[in-house]
Amino acid sequence: MDGQNWLELLNRQTWLRQIQETNQYTEKYGLTLSEKDTEILLAEKNHTLRSEQRVEFGQSILPQIIYAFCDSSFISSDNYLDTLIRLQEIFYLYKNEMQDEITDEELIHFMREQFETVCYGDLDYLEGTCLDIFAQAIRAGYRGYKKTRGYGEFEKFDIVQRWDEKLYLETLRELCWR
């Protein structure tokens, strides 16, 4: 038996239990994972860990992701499993992209905040824009996120001008005075 399979078997029961225990909390949001869903999540997790060349011991990151995202207005029972699979893929990808400079908690805070506000539930935008820009800043030496634990950081790097009340009124005035 190779080392990777041994590690997977060692942690498998712990991870299954940790993920199933989240159902007690997420039920109030109409979200639960069946045993089959949990098996799928673990298989995807192991695939992602191998592809990102990462190892995880003991506590799985999945419960933290589940607790952070389960009350999102963009997650429903219809997309719960698929969203969790993508979130864990994105998490491990950006742990690597940020060269492990950011803690798990800081990364999850950042991901959740952008998912709800800037991305409006769009995982592609979260991955390809928000996290990409933030990772570039971290690789360039930015460490301001340590003070905020990952909250309120994206506005410092966002290159897309957003519609806000001031911008809306300014545009409306310009359109009316033409």
Summarize pLDDT for 115-134 with one digit per residue, the tens. 999 899 999 999 999 999 99
Q: CA dihedral in degrees (82, 84, 87, 91; nearest 10)?
A: -140
Report the C-alpha gap between 119 and 165 in whole angstroms.
18
Q: What are the E-state strand segments in 72-129?
A: none
Report the C-alpha gap between 125 and 105 in whole angstroms.
21
Summarize pLDDT for 1-41 with one digit per residue, the tens. 454 566 566 666 777 778 888 999 999 999 999 989 988 98
* pTM for the full predicted model: 0.79
